[in-house]
Copies of this chain bind each other. A is one copy, B any other.
Amino acid sequence: MKYNNVEIDDTYAEAFPAQVSRVLITAVTEYYAKVAAIEATGFGTSVIGCPAEAGIDCFVPADKTPDGRPGYVIMICHPNKDKLKEQLIERIGECVLTAPTTAVFNWLPFERLPDKTQEKRIDVKLHFFGDKFEYQTKVGDRNVWAIPIMGGEFICEEEYGYKKGVAGGNFFVMGETQGSALMGAQAAVDAIAQIEGCITPFPGGIVSSGSKVGSKYKFMKASTNEKMAPTLKSKVPDTQLPPNVNAAYEIVIDGLDEATVGKAMAAGIKAACHVPGVVKISAGNYGGKLGPYKFELAKLLQ
C-alpha cells in the first residue's frame, strides 16, 4: 500500500514483553524537571548493553501534578523485574534525589489503564538516606517521605507501580538521501513524543545501526544488518533497500501496552511520510520467534 505516496512495506513489526515503570519528576520550573529526567534516562537505549531502556514519556503541567509544580514522566523498562527495581533505585537515587528542587511520584496507576496491574508495586526506599531525620507526610492525597537535604526537602513516594508492557515496537524510514531519511525519522520522533504512555529510548529517538542476530565473529551475538546498509547495496545479494534508497533509520518504541505502541507507530509513520525524499517505510521482525506482539503496518495506517 501507499500512504501519502510513500510505499508501505507489506510486513509487521515484532515486539516482546518488558516490565515497565513510570515515574513523575517535578521541580521548581520545567527546566529543572527536564534536567533531572534527562540524566535519569540516559545510557538507556537497549538492554543489550545498557542497564535499562529509559526515556522521557511526557510533560505534565503544574496544575495536573500532586505538588502543583511542572513535571516530566519518565519510563524505565527491563525484561527482568528485579533488574527493573535495581534501576529504579539507582536512577532515582543518583539522578533525581541529587537534582535541584525535584520530587518524585509514582505515575503508573494511570486512570486510563484498563487492567489491574497497578497492584504490583516496587519498593524504592530512598528515605533511609534521611538518616532518621526523614518523616512521613502527605502531598495532596499521597503518602510521601520528606528527606531534609541541602536544597530543602526531597519529597518522594515509596512504592512504584510496574506492569508488563511492550518493548521493541519499530519501523524503518528509508530515504533517497541521508538528509531525507533523517528528517523523516525526526518528524516521526516529534510525532511520537505527543503520544502518552511510550518512549523512543535510542539517542534522540533514532537508531542508525540496525542489527541482525549472530555474526561471522563467533563471540558476537549481534552484528550489522548488511541487508539494510546502503553502502553494501551492490555487494550483498539480498539487499532489502530499493535502488533509490541511500539511508535508513529505525524508530524503536517501548510502551505501556499494545494499543499505545500501535498508536505511536501509526503517528510516527504518518509524520515521516510527509517528508520529501522519504520513499519507503518498513519494519523489523524475526518471523515471530522473538516476541508475541505483531504490528502489521497496513493495519496501523487504516
Q: Select which of B94, B181, B207 is within 8 A of A43 by beta carbon.
A: B94
**A49:B93 contact, CB within 8 angstroms:** yes
8 A Cβ contacts from A248-284 to B: 248-250, 267, 270-271, 273-277
A105 at the interface (CB under 8 A from B): no
Taking CB atoms, residues of chain B closer than 8 Å to A154 are 208-209
A230 at the interface (CB under 8 A from B): yes
**A99:B202 contact, CB within 8 angstroms:** yes
Measured as residues with beta carbon below 8 angstroms from the partner, the interface class of chain A is 35 or more
Beta-carbon nearest neighbor of A225 in chain B: B150
Which candidate, A11-19, A67-75, A113-121, A158-166, is the interface stretch facing chain B?
A67-75
Secondary structure at the A interface, as helix, strand, loop or mixed, is: mixed
Taking CB atoms, residues of chain B closer than 8 Å to A184 are 179
**B43:A128 contact, CB within 8 angstroms:** no
Chain B min CB distance to A29 (Å): 5
**A99:B151 contact, CB within 8 angstroms:** no
Cβ proximity bits A1-41 to B, threshold 8 Å, 1 near / 0 not? 00010000000000000000000000011111001101111
8 A Cβ contacts from A118-133 to B: 128-133
Beta-carbon nearest neighbor of A205 in chain B: B35
A296 at the interface (CB under 8 A from B): no
Chain B min CB distance to A267 (Å): 6
On whether A100 and B185 interact (CB within 8 A), knowing A94-B49, A95-B203, the answer reads yes
A80 at the interface (CB under 8 A from B): no
A137 at the interface (CB under 8 A from B): no
Chain B min CB distance to A102 (Å): 7
Cβ proximity bits A98-113 to B, threshold 8 Å, 1 near / 0 not? 1111100000000000
A204 at the interface (CB under 8 A from B): yes
Cβ proximity bits A176-211 to B, threshold 8 Å, 1 near / 0 not? 111111111111001100100000001110111111
Q: Once the chains are docked, how many angstroms separate the CA of A276 from the CA of B107?
A: 25
Taking CB atoms, residues of chain B closer than 8 Å to A136 are none
